[in-house]
Each structure stands twice: as structure tokens, then as C-alpha cells.
Chains A and B, each alone.
Chain A
Amino acid sequence: MTSDITQNLDFAHSPINQALTPERKIELFTQMVRIRRFEQAALKYYTGGKMGGFLHLYIGQESVAVGTISLGGADDHFITAYRDHGHALAVGMGMNECMAEMFGKQTGCSKGKGGSMHFFAPDKNFWGGHGIVAGQTPLGLGLGYGLKYLGREGCCLCYLGDGAVNQGAFHESLNIASLFGIPVVYIIENNGYSMGTSQKRSSAFNGCLAQRAEAYAMEWDVIDGSDIYEVRAKTHIAMERARKEHKPTLLEIDTYRYYGHSVADANYKKYRTPEEIENYKANHDPIVTFQRRLINEGVLTEDQAKEINKAASDEAAASVKFADESPAPTIADISTDVYWESDNDTPASKIGHHFFND
């Protein structure tokens, strides 16, 4: 648990946050608002039947993706699980390509082949978007391994939910990360629930989930996700440890999701009380708290905040229009992006049959 000392610290004064210009602060605020407006639009059209599959909303957790990814340099890489819209927008992916992906359109970031859970943008150091709980944690380890192998000074931020901490692949990853000295920072986005099962009913732990790192001789910390300054200050320390010392860290960021595990989670109001949700909205919502903070700092005005919200809503609405009007993949598209040789029509692709259709 966060210590009393930590609770009394004002992370706005940490050097990494003091270095933020007013413009950059507004940019971070804008990114958080854009994620929320994007997802609210997605929810509307998911409910309206425009998308298939699942929709895992990030609403309430925006400070995590925006705060941590804002610390990334040219050789820092990111990978997450299926609740990936926030990270995608935070690394700089456009609303259009993301919304079109959810609509299953050819113009989507994965050409409509991945869907909501599988966004990728390698050009922005974003490696997904992975559907299996904790399945991405060894990949994050590998991105860190690759950076070290290739001699680049960077690190990998690998995100997971609190429901992922009991998967074997995660523990294998922690062991190897510490054993091999891999520049990876594991970030547990603890929203309190692994699907519909509360943390208390799913995990055995001392103090907090991150403390499990001690078993692997790894540094750890706990962060209040309602304060983006704290998110940045503490994550920065972990990233520097990874980049400079090749040492991994396990961070746990306390956060909250307003909605269910996915929109298909019909019970999301049953395993939580209305009071719990309302308390979060009023006192811990990272956008509400950051907006209040920036207004107090004189960086932002109420009117500006409204404008930012309006612009984000308009952008999201435009992305819906773009997605809706985009073409669907063709039947021929089903068979591309399976093998590199086939896609590149190489001589090797002509040797033997790669596909076995009727």
C-alpha cells in the first residue's frame, strides 16, 4: 500500500513534471480527453450494432496510458493486453484507423483483421493489443531483450491487468526479466476486478500485488492512478532503472474502470455498488482531478477544457463517419498477411502449397 509519506508528496514538484511546459500539460490533458471521447463514441456504436466481438473500455484508466507513454523516447516500446484503445491513442495512432478497425473495415489499423483487442503500430513502437490474459507479458520481456541485444538504450513498458498476475506466463516473465537483467517495466493496471471477480477473491498477496516482485529480487512500487503527476514521476524512475541499469521493475497503478470487463459484461453493476462508482467519478477520475489541478495551476481554464472536450467529441464523431463509410475487407483479404513470402510474392512462396483451401 502507498505509504503515508508518499500520500503527502506532491508529484507536481518532481523534476520530470517540473519539466512539463503548460502546452505539454494541456497536451496530456487533451490526450486523456480524446481517449475518453473516442471510447464513448465506440460504446455508442458498439451498442448500436456497428461492431462485432468484445469492447473492453479503458474509461477511468486514461492517466495510466497517457502518463506512462508520455515518458517514452525513440527507443522505448509499448505492449499491452486487450484493453488497448487508450495506449493506441496515447502512442499517436489516429482515431480513424482505430475506429475503423473496430468497425471491421479495410482502413483499420490492422485492416480489420485484428479488431478491438488487437491494435498495432510498430512505427510508433506499439506492439499490440493482445487478446490472451498475460500472453503479452513474455513478448514485453522479448522487446526488452531485443533492445538490449541490439545495443539500444531504451526500455519496454509492458501493461497488464490485475487479473493477469496469476498467470504462469507472467511469473516466468518476471523471473527471466530479473535473471537476465532485461530493460522492461511491468505495469499492473489495477482496476480492482479480474472480469467480475474482485482482487480479494482472485489473488493471494501481502500488502499489494506489486510486492510479489520481491520474490524475484525485483524493484516495485505502487502508484495512485488518479494523479497523472505521480504516474509520471514513479514510472520515470522505473524506466531510467531499465534504460541505464538494465533492471526491470514491477509497478502497480491503482485505477478504476467505470464499465464492465467488456461491454458484454452484463453484471458490472452487480459486483460493485453505485456508491463505489460515484465515489470514483467524483474524487478519483484522472481527467476530473487533472482538470482541477491544471485550473488551479492557472494552466487551463474551464472554457478551454470545454473546447478540448468538444474538439475530442467532434474528432471521435468524424472517426465514426470515416469508419462507417470505409470499405469492408474482401474475401480475398482473408488470405493475405498470413505469410511474408506469399504477401511479397517471392520465388519461395511458389515452392509448395502454403494454403489448403478446397
Chain B
Amino acid sequence: MSRTLTYREALREGLDEELARDPNVVLMGEEVAQYNGAYKVTEGLWKKWGDKRVVDTPISEAGFIGMGIGASMLGVRPVMELMFWSFHSVAFDQLVNNAANVRYMSGGLCSCPIVVRGPANGGTGVGATHSHVPEGLFAAFPGLKVCAPATPADAKGLIKAAIRDNDPVYVMENTMLYGNTGEVPDPADGDHVVPLGLADIKREGSDVSLIAHGRSVIQALAAAEILKDEHGINCEVLDLRSIRPLDVDAILKTVKKTNRVVLVDESKPFGGVSAMVAMLIQEHAFDYLDAPIKRVCSIDAPSIYSPHIEHEQLPNPRRIVEKVLTLG
């Protein structure tokens, strides 16, 4: 039996289960404990688990993320919340030079089993400093793993996989998905873990493949309905779920099935996740393409504040539909 949970509740259930499973799991971040989380993902967990397992930190990202990395080398498994992934910039040295490189530079002697999680999205009227979408940025560093769940079930399954991984995993959530509901398997039916590196077909189709991750999956599904109803085009929607490791086989399989592809990616176009996916498709499935690979990314400018226009900077159903119709 599954239940209907919000994305936020599903994440919380995943965190709660991992706190119960492993005494070395500790949640830390700004406002995660007594305040119950800036976006209420960790609501109730401090009350249940106490000061040792759920830790409020000062606004000091380089300090507490570096602290988590150091503790992880000793066997603690910190799950650190960035209130916004946009704040990665003040902790970048820790997130990249230390977390990503320590296994390598030590010749495999050190492990860094940390999770850094939090929302990474635009669309909420908070302007350019708070609207970064850095999954492509961090996936570009070997040693790091990155995932971006789109649904409640995947949010729970991926956060659990991330916590169990022995390498740093950066989980990119989305404030605009926290309230979305979806079916999540009942814990009584077994441990629900979604392995990193496994994409998921969210909608079967035959004419065009829409490849997306995070909230762009939801936008692609909405566009697919419009394309079906108004244009008779049957889209397949592939949810990457995990950016690194990346399910290249699933990408190539859907392209070979539909022969047309539009990549939907909230990244800015230059070097975004979709740029890497496009490269892989042209290299490994070029002969299967009946049209050039097209993309719908965020419009290439810093993220605009204006609530009147912000949704038009991001991938949305209208922009996706228009792009699909250009495939001919």
C-alpha cells in the first residue's frame, strides 16, 4: 500500500528513517532544529531526536559544512541543510576542494560520507542571489554525486540512498515542489530506496522524448498533456532523477525509441546539465536522430525578480510546447 504524502513529508520521512537506522546520522543546518526548518522539511525531528542528532548551526556555511566534512572522515554521517543551494558560493571551497577531492588526494584512504541538501530553484520571486540551480555545476566535479528528485516518492528514496552513500551526495530539492503530493510506498512494505544513477520514465510516449530533472519534469509532463490534446504529439518524459551518476542507457534508449528529443533543464544554457546530455546523445545516438537536439533552459540572464515575468524565464509548459513544435 502506498500513501499520499507531500514532497516535504516524504523527505522528512526519509530523514527520520535514516536517523533511526544509523546512530551516526546527524542533521545540521541553519534553523533545522528548534525552528523546524526554514521550509519545514525537518519539522518535528528535533523534538523527536534531540540536540545531538538535529543541530542548529550559525549562519556560517563554510564553517558548518567544513565541520561536517571533517566529522565524516571520522565516521559521522552529517546531513547538512543549505537553506538555499544558492548559498553554496560561500562554502564553495569546502564543497569542492575538500569534499570532492579528499578521497582522491589521499589515494583512497579518506572517505567523506556527507549529504548536503536543500532547495535549488528559481520561480519564487527571490531574485538572482537566491535562485541558483547548481546541479550541473557540482556534477562537473568528479568525486561528487548529485541528484534532483521531482516527486515525493523519489525525494524519499533518493535522500535515503544519498545518506547511505560513502561519498558526498548533493541533493537538490525545490521549494515549489515541497507542497506537491504523490504516492509514496508504505514503510511496512519495505525500505524504499531509489538508487543513484537510475532514471525513470514518468510518461510513456512514442513521438518525442522530453528529458528533464527536478521541477522541469513536472513542467514537461504538463507540456506533454497539451501536446497530446492540442497537437496529437505523444511525448515520452524521462526523469533523470540522478545527475551524477547519470543513467546514460535510459537517455539513449528513449532517444532511439522516439528519434526526437527536447531537453528541459532549469539550468542556464551554458554548460548546464542538458549540455552534457546533448553531448552524450550526439555521440552515442546520432544516427537515431530525426531532428536536431533542442533545449528549453532558463533564459540566459541572472534570475529576474519580477513575479510578472519570472515564470517565463524558467522552462514552462508554453515554452516546452513551442520548442517541441519546432522539431517539425
Contact = CB atoms under 8 A, between A and B. Distances in A.
Given A143-B71, A356-B276, A169 B58 contact: no
Contacts of A129: 105-106
A175 B111 CA distance: 26
B60 A176 contact: yes
A161 interface: no
Contacts, number: 189
A172 B248 CA distance: 40
B75 A150 contact: yes
Given A120-B106, A127-B70, A340-B167, A353 B245 contact: yes
B76 A138 contact: no
Nearest to A179: B58
Interface string A124-161: 00011111100111111111111101100000100000
B49 to A, nearest CB: 13
Interface residues of B, number: 54
B198 to A, nearest CB: 6
Contact of B70 (A113, A146, A352): A146
Interface stretch (B39-47, B95-103, B262-270): B95-103
Q: Which of A123, A351, A352 has the most CB of B within 10 A?
A: A352
B76 A352 contact: no
Given A128-B102, A149-B26, A352-B245, A113 B107 contact: yes
A141 B242 CA distance: 31
B197 to A, nearest CB: 2
A354 B245 contact: yes
B66 interface: yes
B107 A108 contact: yes
B73 A169 contact: no
A331 interface: no
Q: Which of B66, B75, B166 has the most CB of A within 10 A?
A: B66
A149 to B, nearest CB: 5
Contacts of A130: 97-98
A181 to B, nearest CB: 12
A135 B197 contact: no
B97 A135 contact: yes
B279 to A, nearest CB: 9
Given A135-B93, A352-B247, A127 B110 contact: yes
Contact of A137 (B66, B71, B106, B247): B66
Nearest to B244: A354
Interface of B: 24, 26, 52, 57-58, 60, 62-76, 93-94, 97-98, 102-111, 142-143, 145, 165-167, 195-199, 242, 244-248, 276, 280
Given A135-B98, A146-B74, A150-B24, 9 more contacts: A129-B106, A132-B93, A135-B94, A176-B58, A336-B108, A338-B104, A339-B145, A348-B196, A355-B142
